[in-house]
Amino acid sequence: MNLNATASRKLSSDSFLIRPIEKDDLLELTALDHGSRENPWTKEMFQKELELPFSIHAAVKDEKELIAFGVVWQVKEIAQLIQITVIPDRRGAGIGTFLVKHLMKICSQKGCKIMELEFEQGNIAAKKLYKKLGFKTVGFRKKFYGNQDAILMQCAL
Ligand SMILES: CC(C)(COP(=O)(O)OP(=O)(O)OC[C@H]1O[C@@H](n2cnc3c(N)ncnc32)[C@H](O)[C@@H]1OP(=O)(O)O)[C@@H](O)C(=O)NCCC(=O)NCCS
């Protein structure tokens, strides 16, 4: 991705609406996820997610469409970041940062003390995003994603 090309499209948080995922988002969200990563969730998976009492989620919308979503599971004082996805042609513009910061704030307000997550070692964008937000590496899972190791990170909230 050419980050310079997207820099001119950097947006302020005033440009987005961020709110919990709603039932009416499911079709659009499924399409977003299918166009964004290798193992996308189905509509049924999103639907089940909305019914989980411990799921904390957010969708980011611009004036036209959904552009990102994130899901966290609250396990007592631990917030486990399950997934965060930004639509490919909007990456590198600060939306991932905005979304994770928002989820960290919501989780802290709900009593979580730590956020933890894992991602594929070769995922440079994810590594940069989480390091920038203060996450520290706390472990690895060998060959967790096929041949790739998983990096485990944590951050105090
Ligand atoms: C990871 C992801 C959510 C980042 O979203 P994003 O909106 O591009 O993130 P931001 O624009 O806030 O960028 C965060 C940092 O990563 C850097 N970055 C983003 N994409 C990058 C890339 N492809 N290569 C290198 N650095 C990248 C940005 O420059 C920024 O750092 P900076 O502020 O120091 O410049 C997005 O790439 C994505 O949806 N990937 C697919 C799903 C995924 O891998 N999710 C994470 C695992 S759960």
For residue 92, the CA-to-ligand 1 centroid distance in Å is: 6
Q: Tell whether 100 is covered by a domain.
A: yes
Q: How many domains does the chain have?
A: 1
Distance from C-alpha of 16 to C-alpha of 121, rounded to nearest angstrom: 30
CATH number at residue 96: 3.40.630.30
The residue that leads in pLDDT, 147 or 100, is 100
Atom of ligand 1 nearest to the CA of 3: 29
Ligand 1 interacting residues, C-beta cut-off 6 A: 1, 3, 36-37, 83-86, 91-97, 119, 123-126, 128-129, 132
pLDDT of 10-42, one tens digit each?
445 567 899 999 999 999 999 999 999 888 999
Q: Tell whether 142 is covered by a domain.
A: no
Confidence of residue 121 (pLDDT cuts 50, 70, 90): very high
Q: 43-51 and 26-34 are packed helices; what angle lies between their axes, rounded to 10 degrees?
A: 120
Residue type, 157: L
Give pTM, 2 decimals: 0.91
Q: Tell whether 150 is covered by a domain.
A: no
